[in-house]
Amino acid sequence: MKGAVLYGPRDVRFEERETPRILKPTDAILRIAATCVCGSDLWPYRGINKVEKPTPMGHEYCGIVEEVGSAVRSVKPGQFVIGSFFASDNTCPNCHHGYHSSCQQAEFIGTAQASLLRVPLADGTLVATPSLPDDDLVPSLLALSDVMGTGWFAADAAGVKPGSTVAVVGDGAVGLLAMLSAKLMGAERIIAMSRHPARQALAREFGATDIIAERGDAGVAAIQELTRGVGVDSMLECVGTQEAMQQAIRSTRRGGGLGYVGVPHGVALDGQQLFYAHVHLHGGPAPVRRYLPELIEAVWDRKINPGKVFDLTLPLDQVAEGYRAMDERRTIKALLRP
Ligand SMILES: [Zn+2]
């Protein structure tokens, strides 16, 4: 079997890898229908996270169950399934509270840019679609594996409600889908922080009502002006840098919610600033598994089309070009088909 392997900065190769097989009775093997390159794959690709040894890549996936272990009950061969980037048992206390990405048995799934994938804890991790999907639904179903669920968590964690005023920092796939999520949750005003025309257009399509191109102090001032000096009810931080987090805290109203899903890189918060900000902070790796049933239904009923964030589709053997295009910001998100 062939798949993507990262050797070092900007060196991703499509090459022979060990064919996955059932290792535990709770495993399943999937034949991948589609996978993709994530913004977070760019941290090691750019050398910001060190790559110690050749590393298989990919954590977003959907596909057909090929084989299941002897203990698997809820999915069977032939079904089309979607799962999160963290395998979860769906039975432990953390799962019961809805935090599947902190499952006591959580296992990161990081080898999905390939034609076959082993998924541990298949019963708790995978959710099947009602039947085999039409091909045009596959990108949107794939988006549920991470980016849509992550955008949804940002909006959920920030407490978006009908009538809310919301702002989103970050115009990558997660930020754009956070806007779509806020719209679905009934937000009345959605402010997108973006300086890229193509992304601004998709932001508007997903429900953004205002666009702010400024960043830092100027970005904060622009939001304060739009909200008459109050700040937004809900702030969705989808970047993970110090600048983005500061901008988010300073733009949220007193008593408002800040959902942060950008993986923090070099973010340090000041206790006194937080103390006086009066902001509800909630974030982390999104418990995507919690949201899969309702989001699958929304895609299945064609109420949402989160797959629109994929503006480049490549055969899996051109995975290196997918990384390049995202690194150079020529594309929002690259979909790969084996
Ligand atoms: Zn669990």
The full length of the chain comes to 338
The amino acid that residue 291 corresponds to is Y
Tens digit of pLDDT for each residue in 2-12?
999 999 999 99
pLDDT at res. 289: 98
Radius of gyration of the chain (CA): 20
CA of 144 to the centre of ligand 1 (A): 19
Distance of alpha carbon 113 from alpha carbon 254, whole angstroms: 43
* Percent over 70 (pLDDT), the chain: 100
Helices (H), 112-146: 122-125, 138-143
End-to-end CA distance of the chain: 11
Look at strands 232-237 and 252-260 and give their pairing.
parallel
Rounded Cα distance between 312 and 306, Å, is 14
Looking at residues 288-300, what average pLDDT do you find?
A: 98
Spell out which residues have Cβ within 5 A of ligand 1, the ion.
Answer: 88-89, 92, 95, 103
302: exposed, middle or buried (C-beta count within 10 Å: 0-12, 13-18, 19+)? Answer: exposed
- Ligand 1 centroid – CA 245 distance (Å): 29
pLDDT, average across residues 101-113: 97
- The two tokens of residue 122 are 């298949």
Strands 333-337 and 310-315, sheet pairing: parallel
> pLDDT tens, 229-267?
999 999 999 999 999 999 999 999 999 999 999 989 999
Distance from the alpha carbon of residue 184 to the mean position of ligand 1, in angstroms: 28
Q: Is the pLDDT of residue 49 over 90?
A: no
**Residue listed under structure tokens 């298989």:** 56
Distance of CA 9 from the midpoint of ligand 1 (Å): 34
State how far the Cα of 313 lies from the Cα of 20, in Å rounded to an integer.
25
pLDDT tens per residue across span 111-143: 999 999 999 999 999 999 999 999 999 999 999
CA of 25 to the centre of ligand 1 (A): 17
Q: Please give the mean pLDDT across all residues of the chain.
A: 97
Short-list 172, 138, 107, CA closest to 35: 138
Q: What is the mean pLDDT of residues 292-309?
A: 98
Q: What is the share, in percent, of the chain residues with pLDDT greater than 90?
A: 97
CA of 148 to the centre of ligand 1 (A): 21
| Residue 328 scores a pLDDT above 90 | yes
> What whole-number distance in Å separates Cα of residue 110 and Cα of residue 159?
30
Largest CA distance in the chain: 61
